[in-house]
Structure 1
Amino acid sequence: MDTTTFNFYLTIILVVGSLLFLIILWVKQRKHIEHLEKQLFTAENKLHEQQVSELDYKLNPHLFKNVLNTIQSHAYQTYHSLDSLSSVLDYILYESRKKYVTPHQEIAFALSLIEIYRVKLSPLFELRIKKQIQDNQPLFNQRLMVPLISIDLIENAFKHADLQSPNSFISVTFIFKENTFSLTVANKISEKAPLKKERQGVGSDLLTKRLDLLYRDNYKLDKFVEGDVYIAHLKIDLLEHKAKMLTAR
């Protein structure tokens, strides 16, 4: 074998060897990266669970206090609110500790909560409750809803609505169709400036944090004013959320 041929084969061997070395190195690095990604995913899940747990701790006493204050301030009507109060307390004490509930459960809870807040209203006050529920949808009875996710929008309507004007109103609309949950709450804004408190409510901040942590880009929350009417709209794509949950397993 002459020198030229030898050098040619030697070059091929070196090139092939280098390629094999690079491939082996890439495979090892890829495995290392996948391992780090799994560790990061596990750490993120633990962090989210801890954050959600902390939020729930702040949220439940806040809701519980508001409900009791409403009942106490209208004690003469409590008899008609006992059934709703029982349902609400059961939900707060038991279901709210779970990471997810069904859309059916969350809507039923919200309706009971509205019945409790109804005691604040004059019999002539216009409270509109609308439901467009496709209860035959596959996800309607699956645990995909974050418990107590609807209370902030409902509480704010009763807190800031103009309850005295003859043309005032509160409107609450629940929609569940095409495996998507929607809640729209509207109310006429009170002309009276709200009293300033040393400690402002935490509901709005908690709602956004919980939605960001658990639904990320699978929800949309809009709050805006049209004339003297405040409107809040929450929409959650539960089908997309479930798909991502299954992918993450």
Structure 2
Amino acid sequence: MRPFLEITNTWIFPITGLVVLLLGVIGYLVLQLQQSKQKKKAAETQFQKLETKINALELQTLEARLNPHLFKNILNSIQSHAYQTYFALDKMANVLDYILYESQNKFVTPKEEIEFAMNLIEINKIKISPLFELKVKTKINEAEPLWEQQILAPLISIDLIENAFKHADLQSPDAFITITFEFRDNVFSLMVANKISTRTPLKKDKAGIGTETLQQRLHIIYKDSFKLDRFIEEDVYITHLKINLLEHKAKMHTA
């Protein structure tokens, strides 16, 4: 029996030592794994903090760029409105000068009347939408002998232009006004066309007085040397005034 016991004891101690060693290695590896996880978690936390700081810095940079850009846009908008106001006031001053001084004369030059009408149109532009289509055309021969002669009745352009802005739908994107000035063969021509508004216009007690006054003035001054047509084509209202100034001048000399 002793030899067997001796052999058994001889194998037990090495196996026990090996198990202890293995357990120790496993414990060490487990400990290292735990420490590695902790380090990884700490590193992730640190990375997240760093990323947050970077994002915050980027956001501050973007805001720093955005705020001045927004401020600049606001300034540009204010400047644009200020310029429009100044521009309109300048045109208004020209119109008032013409009404107060030039219109006191019995006649003005075609050049002066058209310049006055252009200023009047610029003032009316303030009321219209940016999408509104406004076309102003000129077909003028400045070499005509009567271009700068005082032979045209002042303020005859007001009624035709003001009516177009009054009866067109200025806020509708598909509405329009077209104004055409022409001076050829010593004939002054003004044609105004506007798409008729679908809105019901406000009734006014004195509506139409300007039109009647213009018609009377033309008859008194130019007799049969003018033609004023008003008509509707589909949904477009058109007014066309033509004054043969050379014919009128000839009649003045023979009268």
Relative to the length of structure 1, the TM-score reads: 0.68
Q: Where does 1:170-185 land on structure 2 (aligned, <5 Å)?
A: 170-185=177-192
One-letter amino acid matched to 1:87? N
Cα offset, 1:230, TM superposition? 0.3
Cα offset, 1:119, TM superposition? 0.4
Q: Where does 1:2-151 land on structure 2 (aligned, <5 Å)?
A: 77-151=84-158
Please state if 1:228 is matched with 2:227. Answer: no
Secondary structure of the corresponding residue to residue 224 of structure 2: helix
Mapped partners of 1:209, 1:75: distance in 2: 41
Mapped partners of 1:137, 1:150: distance in 2: 20
Q: State whether residues 186 and 246 of structure 2, in contact with CA within 8 Å, keep that contact through their aligned partners in structure 1.
A: yes
**CA displacement 1:147-178 (0-9 Å, x = unmatched):** 00111000000000022322110000000000
Alignment partner of 1:245 out of 236, 249, 252: 252
Paired positions, count: 175
Mapped partners of 1:98, 1:191: distance in 2: 40
Secondary structure of the corresponding residue to residue 165 of structure 2: helix
2:202 aligned residue: 195
Deviation >4 Å, runs of 4+: 74-77
Alignment partner of 1:219 out of 226, 233, 239: 226
Please report the RMSD computed on the Cα atoms of aligned residues, expressed in angstroms. 1.6
Structure 1 residues 192 and 208: CA distance shift in structure 2, 3 A: same
Cα offset, 1:78, TM superposition? 2.5
Secondary structure of the corresponding residue to residue 174 of structure 2: coil
Of the two structures, which has the highest relative contact order with CA contacts closer than 8 Å and spacing of 6 or more?
1
Cα offset, 1:87, TM superposition? 0.8
Please state if 1:161 is matched with 2:168. Answer: yes
Cα offset, 1:222, TM superposition? 0.3
One-letter amino acid matched to 2:111? H
Structure (1 or 2) with the larger CA radius of gyration: 2
One-letter amino acid matched to 2:199? K
Structure 1 residues 130 and 87: CA distance shift in structure 2, 3 A: same
One-letter amino acid matched to 2:207? Q
- Unaligned ranges ≥5, structure 2: 1-80
Mapped partners of 2:121, 2:188: distance in 1: 18
| Segment of structure 1 superposing worse, 94-103 or 75-84 | 75-84
Mapped partners of 2:205, 2:233: distance in 1: 29
